Structure 1
């Protein structure tokens, strides 16, 4: 019967389209007449099982309103837009009705015999109907032998004086009096219910016992001789004194679950006008066999010593959404059978070793949404039966001692690095932390018996040189979404992170900014069935990238351009939505696969569309024709051949150019040698005519050794007969004892060219700068450009300009620079020799001297 009722309840909530029925019609045993502007019950065939008439304007229900509907089981008449009148035996033509829903209809008149003739009625919904105490006192529910669920919530009932006929409702299981105006309830009022076993009894949100003074000696136990699975007295404004009086009054009544949420017990945070519960608050419940106690959504600040000592049968304790900041040592003494403890959404900041003493059988501790930042080492040691610890959404920055239990939730904290602790678990939840290094992942993969590891929404982005991958023979699900694995894998490390996971079945790598997959990164995943790569930046996939046995692949919201259909050939399902497909002939094979594959394609066809070219942007792939791509393929082959040919030619030219640039010194020497062999070219010497020397080398004496090895040995005739120039320099050709200025003047005027080797020593040598000035005077006097400047070393233009003798020359003339690469020396000496050999034309006075175009070598 219960399963049958649940099915009917489900049908009530479905809409017309879900039932396959048009509005204001009937079919398949269901008549759907919601929002049809009805003022009376329409004609209904006798085969109907469900009749839905809510959201109309039906005013009156009489015995003749319904035809004889023997099969009707559910009638919905709730939410009429006009007041509803229900006359005597209004439903007598519905003998097998199981559920009658009148909720949210304002009943202006209800006859005491309105429900007579319904022997099989199981559930009666009269919530929010404007009913008063009369409906309880007047015997309205007589003869409802099958009635199990009565909903009278949200009415105007002020007193629970039950008619004696309630004693005859032997099937009654649940009554809901919540959201009424019941100020108090005593033993005599509920006497007709004595001896019954109810699964649910609600007096929530009535301001019960909170606005009047109750003489409990006269009121006594309202639930005497009753057995209640769940008693809901929440949201009645109970403080500690009210709760103590109530628990003492119901002493001895069997209540397995007491719901007292939304209370005002406790001092709250920063207040002391209300008391926190103490040892006496719940003492009266000692004989109630209480198994579940809900004290959530209150203001309890401190859990005092032996607070629940008398509740020896308690298995579930809900203290969520209070202001608990302090757990006194011994607070849980007496709860030897407690299995579930919920302390979530409180103000706990620290956990101490003594906090959970007295809980030998607790299996689940919920500490979510506190402010826990530190935990003492032995805090959970006394919880020998602990199976699940939930510490999500706290402020933990590090963990040192975590018990070896099957399930650990640590998500939403501030963990930056995991200490290498001894840990055994089946499920570890570490999402929404601040873990950055993949070394923590390697560490977690070594946890014995681990089956599910959740690391979503961390900052995994770095990787030190990969440690040896640890084998996890039990891991089945790995969640790594919303990290930054791209940054870690770009370093070339940690590509083997999945190598030791032979039993992994589900892998989530979504939202990791991945633009590539490391070669063979999934090669060790022999059991992988589902792979999630959605919301990344992948542009291509190769058949070897994925495990052979993979069944489902999600690559939606990537940047795939022209996928190879061979990648998806073995898949049973694939999600390819919202990629950047290029609709050209290269995509024809993929489009053909889409049109003929047996694999399940997730999402609508419109979500697989062209991105390029612009003319096809947004066009679904299933609308693209591949006709004519054969000719295009032939043309593409021709273009490919031309491309290869041109590429080879360009490569040869590029290699030749690079080789010549790389070995230019050797090439130049070979060129000169070939020139001498072919043309018999011998070193050319100048006719001295009126000049004694071909060139005067002006340099600092500190540079002599370098000048000798770099220039004199290769150019001066006195060093070798193969050289061509008669050179003058101070160390050899200046007359000893002669005035130094006279020697400089003779050298300048006796040489065809003056070559100044400007180095750092040159710039600090006053005689060198003097010689440079005489050389410039010679140029002005002869109107010839006889001065050649060679800059040696790493002197910048700025450093040269700081010296006034050189400033004018540097601004108007070009100069040579000694090459830094030794293979360019031969070429440079050849260039310098040509400058010395060059004959300059004499310029007319008044005309400007043209700049020599001399290449600089750097």
Structure 2
């Protein structure tokens, strides 16, 4: 592999710092992490191809060449937070590609130098070195960009070998600091200088002056100073002219207020453009500066020195005071009259800020995380150049008052009043915003739907997330310039329309209560290029299916698709991606469903009608109804009216055209002689006054057997079909073998009508007697027939002459009109 670029080196550093607490010793082929393993020495199991090695936060006390000789590809080595007491650069003689070496936070007392030509980053900060390493070899590391050192004393001679180095950043930790020789730091050639003092000692003002004369960016941590007078010596005028610093940061500052003001004045007359003070604690008397205001004082100073102020931005963060009582107006006036372009006072528990007395140069004001109320900047007409105003996390309550606050800020473009207590009750409280306001952040307040009646007409970007908005009212004032609208984390039940937002291009409605979004959203909002609608409790239904299809047609306009779009209802689909949710077209298209149901119904009706006609279902239904009615009337007759059961051996059913055979052959042979059979024949046994159907049913029920004389004539007789149907019904109702079939003449299958399927079934499944034409075979036929009818009737019906009197009869059709 080729040599690493600066970007690659620092990317590797970030990588192993992020993996600092990962337990496995080897992350991959080139990165090995042994951090926080309680190691007392460098392990001998490090892969030889390792390029990034982390041995930080262990208990290693010494290093040797043999531990690193095999790591010829090593480029980044982190040995911080160990117990190393001596450092010999010769240990890394065989690591010629080493670029990043971190030995900070060790107990190093002595250093033995050796030139490492490829080294770019060397950190020896937060060690116990009493003086800077007097190493000529350090000055020969021409590629060095970052240098971290520790010292208790600083002299000019300490830096004589570093004068030739052009450093990007120098870090000096000055714990237990005791001596500083003026102008020592000025030997450094660096763009950024970071000085860290101990938290329990006074800092050196000459160090501050020299640091400002050394680098463009200066940071000082733990700035503490205590003087009974509250002032510190002024810098020489010649030194003020040599100051190079343009960005000054003071972190963890604990000073008297007069000293802080002196530093502000010093900074003002220097080239410093940006001053940042973090974790500021002030104490002592809070008094007015001479002349009360900055500008008169600065004018008097300008008469003494030919300098002009360059400071453009002042940032104060996490401000605390140890003064129980002071005139706050003095403090607010001093800040409000500062001739700055940018002022930030963050987390200072500040309850108020005064309006400048004259036209202010402020273009950016940030008073976040304070205690400001609605009285802020009311009727203030001097902030005409203000463009950005940030008032996050304060105690603002009235949206109309906030609008009035901006009404005279003619240049205001951006306003952030998020995380306050803002509310709006409706048109009773009119609103008046700055006409120039184009970006407004009202998120995390207590605003409802009425807020859309109190918005700046020219707003282009509007943040309304985390409020109590349930819908976007129709008919509100149009926001024709609005391009971005954030309504996340509200109570919306559906996507808002774009009737009032004709220019809307971006909409965020995440984390609302939208179950089924409108499918015509993109049609009503043609200019929307991106919709963030994920993380809603979607109800996976037919309507949502249409929304999923909309995503496919929208060309990727749904931000976060598909991971942020998940079914919440119904329970069985919870957690399923909308992308994987599908329903059949028939289940969701009502018109198609109705048409399909109608077609299926008509088809079923047609099939049923055809089957009914083909199988003669109406005829069977009519016969079943008549059977049922006859049985019902029989149950309602008086017991004396009911005749006993089984009065006959058999009921004879035949066609009129076969009556001659029945009367001349069947009846004489069965009703005479030994073992005579009592037959039920319609001409002599039907009871006048009853219907034919009732007589048929009665005769069949009073007969033990039913004899059917089958022939082609039989299948053409309607009444024979009735008799067969009722006899077959009795067969199944009594689960008996009561049917006797006599085939008088052969019946071709094609002769039998389709509705005579019962006859077909009986002839296929039951044995029938065939009438033989030969005289010699007829005696056997009669014997078989008598055997099939063999049954003993009750004695009361035996010898009944009336019933046994046989006469010549015709077919049943002769008695249709009985």
1:124 aligns with 2:101: yes
CA spacing shift, 1:611–1:122, aligned 2, 3 Å? closer
Does the Cα contact within 8 Å between 2:531 and 2:557 map onto a contact in 1? Answer: yes
CA distance in 2, matches of 1:600, 1:538: 20
Q: Please say if residues 58 and 81 of structure 2, whose CA atoms lie closer than 8 Å, have aligned partners that are also in contact.
A: no
The 3 A distance-change label for structure 1 pair 2 and 231 is: farther
In the alignment, which residue of structure 2 is the partner of 1:13? 14
Equivalent position of 2:463 in the other structure: 508
2:366 to 382, 390, 407: 390
Distance 1:442 1:622, change over 3 A: farther
Asked if 1 retains the 8 angstrom alpha-carbon contact of 2:125 and 2:173, the reply is: no
Is the contact between residue 156 and residue 187 of structure 2 (CA under 8 Å) also seen in structure 1?
no
**Structure 1 portions without partners, runs of 5+:** 24-31, 45-49, 268-273, 402-416, 639-858
CA–CA separation in structure 2 for the residues paired with 1:282 and 1:260: 21
CA RMSD in angstroms, aligned pairs only: 4.8
Q: Please, which of 152, 166, 176 is the counterpart of residue 207 of structure 1? A: 176
More helix by share: 2
Distance 1:275 1:5, change over 3 A: farther
State the partner residue of 1:289: 243
Give how far 1:358 is off: 10
Q: Report whether the alignment pairs 1:326 with 2:298.
A: no
2:110 to 114, 128, 134: 134
| Equivalent residue number for residue 797 of structure 1 | none
The CA deviation at 1:630 is: 4.6
The residue aligned with 1:455 is: 417
Return 5+ residue gaps in structure 2 as ranges.
302-307, 596-818
Q: For 1:455-604, what aligned pairs fall within 5 Å after superposition?
A: 455-456=417-418, 457-465=420-428, 472=435, 474-486=436-448, 488=450, 495=453, 497=455, 500-501=457-458, 504-521=459-476, 523-525=478-480, 527-541=481-495, 543=497, 545=499, 547-568=501-522, 570=526, 571-594=528-551, 597-603=554-560
Cα contact 1:461–1:483 (8 A) shared by 2: no
What's the offset of the Cα at 1:459?
1.7
| Equivalent pair of 2:13/2:76 in contact (CA under 8 Å) | no
Paired residue secondary structure (1:601)? coil
The equivalences for 1:89-488 within 5 A come to: 99-104=76-81, 113-116=90-93, 121-128=98-105, 130=106, 132-135=108-111, 138-139=112-113, 142-178=114-150, 182-194=151-163, 196-204=165-173, 206-209=175-178, 222-223=184-185, 225-237=187-199, 243-244=204-205, 254-266=214-226, 276-280=230-234, 286=240, 289-291=243-245, 292-303=247-258, 312-315=269-272, 316-320=274-278, 321-323=280-282, 326=286, 328-330=288-290, 333=298, 336-344=309-317, 345-347=319-321, 349-351=328-330, 355=334, 362-378=340-356, 384=361, 386-397=362-373, 423-431=384-392, 432-438=394-400, 440-441=402-403, 444=406, 447-456=409-418, 457-465=420-428, 472=435, 474-486=436-448, 488=450
Task: Report the Cα distance in structure 2 between the residues aligned to 1:376 and 1:388, rounded to whole angstroms.
Answer: 16
Q: CA 1:469–1:542 in structure 2 vs 1: closer, same or farther (change >3 Å)?
A: same
Q: Do the aligned partners of residues 495 and 176 (structure 1) sit closer, same or farther apart at CA in structure 2, a change above 3 Å counting?
A: same
Is the deviation greater in 507-516 or in 254-263?
A: 254-263
* Contact preservation (8 Å) 1:263, 1:298: yes
> Could you tell me how far 1:88 is from its partner in structure 2?
3.9
Whichever of the two has the greater Rg, that structure is 2
**Alignment-derived partner of residue 744 in structure 2:** none
Offset of 1:151 from its aligned partner? 0.4
Q: How far is 1:479 from its partner?
A: 1.8
Mapped contact 1:438–1:463 kept (Cα < 8 A): no
SS at match of 2:531: strand
Q: Aligned with 2:154: secondary structure?
A: coil
User: Would the aligned equivalents of 2:460 and 2:484 in 1 still touch at CA under 8 Å?
Assistant: yes
Which whole-Å CA distance do the structure 2 matches of 1:260 and 1:631 have between them? 69
Q: Contact 2:491 / 2:512 at 8 angstroms: preserved in 1? A: yes
**Contact kept? 2:403, 2:433, Cα under 8 Å:** no
- Decide whether aligned partners of structure 1 residues 287 and 61 sit closer, same or farther in structure 2, where only a CA change above 3 A counts: farther
Change (3 A) 1:54 1:601: farther
Once the two structures are superposed, residues 461-503 of structure 1 have per-residue CA deviations (whole angstroms, 9 ceiling, x without a partner) of: 223357698794x5432222233442636xxxx64846x32xx
TM superposition shift of 1:566 = 1.0
- Taking structure 1 as reference, are residues 631 and 358 closer, same or farther at Cα in structure 2, changes over 3 Å only? closer
**Structure 1 contact 266–299 (Cα < 8 Å) conserved:** no
1:153–1:176 contact (8 Å) kept in structure 2: yes
Query: For residues 568 and 355 of structure 1, do their structure 2 counterparts lie closer, same or farther at Cα, with a shift above 3 Å needed?
Result: same
SS in 1 for 2:7: helix
Task: State the match for 1:843 in structure 2.
Answer: none
Q: Contact between 2:56 and 2:78, CA under 8 Å: does it hold in 1?
A: no
In 2, are the aligned partners of 1:553 and 1:575 still within 8 Å (CA)?
Answer: yes
Deviation at 1:565, TM superposition (A): 1.0
Segment drifting more, 454-463 vs 105-114? 105-114
Deviation at 1:511, TM superposition (A): 2.8
